[in-house]
Structure 1
Amino acid sequence: MQEKLKTIIVEDEELARNLLKTFLKEIETIELVAECENGFEGVKMINELKPDLVFLDIQMPKITGFEMLELLDHKPHIIFATAYDQYAIKAFEYNAADYLLKPYSRERLKEAIEKVAERIESEGSVSDVAEKMSEYPKGEYLDRIVVKDRHKINIIPASDVRFIESMDDYVMIYTQNGRHMKQQTMKYFESALDPKNFIRIHRSYIVKVDEINEIQQYEKESYIVILHDKTKLKVSKNGYKNLKDILNF
């Protein structure tokens, strides 16, 4: 007998949640363990209950489905469900198990669940969705960054970021009001932040252009940038070239 898939629904529309629950009741291989109205609840319940499968809406208030995925410690298999087909390519880039375009039929839902069951059988119960996300450069630039700090989720406008520092598998994001650690790569932020506003000056630093007050030479062919608050950051040879290109000196 096939083991049941522990399943969570993350969907802000009550009608859509109720319809999905009705469909799932008919599928013996599904054990629905929680339903969540928004991404904040979704993060908490997924990390606590460690489901095999999550049905995830993309367009939700507070944080989007894609932003929610960045905050997960437990990585379940994902079936995106949305009324907007423009997200389909991005969903598959994130290695989603499937993508349901609302309204969908019982048959289409069963087909998606079968795909998940096959994937779990061949790849195991943990998805590689987080790794895929860190490789995926967004077609449009980030206007905000979502960070989990213990039990709190912070939404940081990109315009508030002063600079980002690499810390092994994490980055430290410095803002006017403090700093926040996030498990993400510098490569991701280099491609995800608008290059007109943010510049990679060193393998360890991405800095907001408007924060730069001065560029100083301190050894032959070695430079530092000094920010408005007197913070000093190293500049690599490539970083110096990037500075010259964007600041036209």
Structure 2
Amino acid sequence: MINVLIVDDEPLARKELRRVLSKAADIAIVGECSNAIDAIGAINREKPDVVFLDIQMPRVSGIEMLSMLDHEKMPHIVFLTAYDEYAVQAFEQHAFDYLLKPVNQARLDKTLQRLRRDREPQKIDQLPGANQLRQIPCFGQHHVQLVRMEDVEHVASGVSGVYVVSTDGTERPTELPLHILQDRTPLLRCHRQYLVNTDCIEKINFLENGLAEISTKRGQVIPVSRRFFPQIKERLGIL
């Protein structure tokens, strides 16, 4: 059985896709989402095998949504799009599965045959925009909140997980590990457990034995390790 999640902001498009998918006995639709924010939570909760994902959605596009997920733990993505020459060329260049809307039954059947036969790892980070975070998804008990990069003071990792700390001091958990946030955001790695927004740095205090610490504009103290100190000085233009 292949567990499927449908993500599309158009109710009629979701209904039609559910109708044609329901004809396949080995397809189980585990949920539908009308926006990317709900989809992030559903993917983490339901862990579908395949996501049929509309790329043209308001506020957060399908491609931007992919930047908010751990690519190593992602379900297989089948993109849904009205004809867009640029998007189609990108999908074909990287051998991604895609369906043009409205979905054609014969074309869908071919896609399902490929999904049954072989689901090779997808190199999502090769798609333009899928590897650049503008907002960090943070998870509450019953919701996902997107925190804009300019509102992030720092990110910290501890025994209980990874937390995004806002400029007002609010802490929110995220599913994304530090190395992904380091790669996909402008946040600066200053310690094995910390990333910091350089716009929030008030001063750097030099300590003994080559160590240092960052004081943020809010008065938060963040440690700096020897390993990352050289790149911090280079990034901040410190001689």
TM-score, reference length from structure 1: 0.73
Mark the CA change 1:103 to 1:25 in structure 2 (over 3 Å): closer, same or farther. Answer: same
- Give the CA deviation at 1:33: 5.3
CA RMSD of aligned residues (A): 3.8
Residue of structure 1 equivalent to 2:81 = 82
Relative contact order (alpha carbons < 8 A, sep ≥ 6): 1 or 2 greater?
2
Q: Distance in 2 between matches of 1:170 and 1:185?
A: 8
- Give the CA deviation at 1:115: 1.6
Mark the CA change 1:32 to 1:218 in structure 2 (over 3 Å): closer, same or farther. Answer: closer
For the 8 Å contact 1:52–1:76, the answer to whether it is kept is: yes
Q: Distance in 2 between matches of 1:170 and 1:216?
A: 27
Tell me whether 1:144 sits opposite 2:145 in the alignment: no
Q: Distance in 2 between matches of 1:207 and 1:104?
A: 44
CA displacement, residues 159-206 of structure 1 (integer Å, 9 cap, x when unaligned): 000011123694211102401111222221112113xxx321122211
- Give the CA deviation at 1:215: 1.1
For the 8 Å contact 1:80–1:91, the answer to whether it is kept is: no
Tell me whether 1:210 sits opposite 2:199 in the alignment: yes
Q: Distance in 2 between matches of 1:16 and 1:134?
A: 27
Name structure 1 gaps, 5 residues minimum: none
Residue of structure 2 equivalent to 1:13 = 10
Q: Distance in 2 between matches of 1:142 and 1:61?
A: 16
Matched positions, count: 231
Name structure 2 gaps, 5 residues minimum: none
- The percent identity for this pair of structures is 28
CA displacement, residues 94-113 of structure 1 (integer Å, 9 cap, x when unaligned): x97x2224344322211111
CA displacement, residues 56-110 of structure 1 (integer Å, 9 cap, x when unaligned): 2233235444537739xx96543221234538758998x97x2224344322211
For the 8 Å contact 2:162–2:177, the answer to whether it is kept is: yes
Mark the CA change 1:174 to 1:165 in structure 2 (over 3 Å): closer, same or farther. Answer: same
- Give the CA deviation at 1:224: 1.1
The residue type paired with residue 115 of structure 2 is V
TM-score, reference length from structure 2: 0.75
Residue of structure 2 equivalent to 1:222 = 211
- Give the CA deviation at 1:139: 6.6
For the 8 Å contact 1:7–1:30, the answer to whether it is kept is: yes
Q: Distance in 2 between matches of 1:6 and 1:204?
A: 35
Tell me whether 1:236 sits opposite 2:233 in the alignment: no
- 3-state SS in 2 of match to 1:220: helix
